[in-house]
Amino acid sequence: MQLNDLRPAEGSRKNRKRVGRGNSSGNGTTAGRGTKGQLSRSGGGKGAGFEGGQNPLAMRLPKLPGFTNHNRIQYAPVNIARLEACFNDGDVVDGATLVEKGVIKKATQPVKVLGDGELTKALTVKVDKVSASAQAKIEAAGGKVD
């Protein structure tokens, strides 16, 4: 068998309906659209969602709840467990060192340290925000938050 011998299974493919090719074809004159009316015209019919002139459902519903605050600061969350895994005793944790260790993508990105996990190393943390539980764990391990 060669590639040129391949054929679709018998009856699996159908020729498309060729309308408007004379009355003897059975689809001449009105080309299967019936007579007169909006749907018989070229470009006829209304778009999806048209409800006969009634205000469509998509326009009756409110667009979105609330609003978007464009001045919102999105902090990159970093957990205590991640600091434990990535840093050694006495290290300084700031934007540059977090990027170096691959914890965050940009040094300019605001960072918030969260309290999930345990910390055994004394670290000096210099980031934008630290949660109360994270601060307690850092100080309990002998580190400090600047």
54-104 pLDDT tens trace: 999 999 998 888 888 999 999 999 999 999 999 999 999 999 999 999 999
Determine the residue type at 73. Answer: I
- In the prediction, which pLDDT does 113 show? 97
Report yes or no on whether pTM surpasses 0.75: no
- In the prediction, which pLDDT does 75 show? 97
What is d(CA 127, CA 141) in angstroms, rounded to the nearest whole number? 18
- In the prediction, which pLDDT does 137 show? 96
What is d(CA 35, CA 60) in angstroms, rounded to the nearest whole number? 35
123-143 pLDDT tens trace: 999 999 999 999 999 999 999
Looking at 2-146, which runs of residues are DSSP E strands? 76-79, 92-93, 111-114, 124-125, 129-130, 144-145
18-67 pLDDT tens trace: 999 999 999 999 999 999 999 999 998 999 999 999 999 999 998 888 88
- In the prediction, which pLDDT does 124 show? 96
